[in-house]
Amino acid sequence: MIQATEFAPGLTIQGFAAPLRISQFKLIAFDMDSTLINIECVDEIADAAGRKAEVAAITEAAMRGEITDYKESLRQRVALLKGVTVAHMHEVLSARLRLNPGAADLVSACKAAGMKVLLVSGGFTYFTDHVRDVLGIDWTRSNLLELEDGVLTGRMVDQDWGDICDGEEKRKTLLDTCQMMGITPDQAIAMGDGANDLPMMGVAGLSVAYHAKPKVREQAMVAIHEGGLDRLLEVLTH
């Protein structure tokens, strides 16, 4: 492993010589929970069911890479959400969900430089659609919770592309988006915090860890330990 060096306080780089030109990149792909936003949505939904501690423990283990079957871990967590209402999810969205510092500035800067923005999440469409609309994101990929009469069933709905957006699906989505745009993966940036982000980070030209788990920090080309998402702009020049 290449030794990480401190580029600036709270910001380390490894495997390349900074700064890079923002014009080198045409796409930036973000994880959502604990990257673009301040919460893990599944944990906060579980709070409404009185099961936050149980669900959060599974989430933490999955993000650290201690659970290798992400799909099964997500199914377990979603099953514990059975009985939660849409009203409870709206409360999470309106009262608890916040963009992380620098999110709007980073997305705005990337769009101003001509980049497209992809949000690819192991979370849920109820929240990714909101974040997409707030930030003006071009494309999203996430999971769809099953509802019956406004109440969660504890299951997810299969979508055209498959059943669950896990790490491999994140990787595939990034590669498919690059192909659709007519660019190479080297022209993409991938940004995340958990182990399920590593597959897409591994194929991108620039991988960025944001206040991430140790396993992710170790493998990322850029690691932001302090400050907001927009600290990436310190590495990218115009």
The residue among 55, 58, 31, 30 whose CA lies nearest residue 43 is 55
33 annotated active-site: yes
Which token pair is 212? Answer: 């991430």
Catalytically annotated residue among 33, 43, 197, 230: 33
The residue among 25, 20, 22, 21 whose CA lies nearest residue 184 is 25
The residue among 215, 221, 217, 218 whose CA lies nearest residue 203 is 221
Which spans in 52-166 are helix H? 52-63, 70-79, 86-91, 103-112, 125-135
Rg (CA), the chain: 17
197 annotated active-site: no
| Catalytic annotation, residues | 31, 33
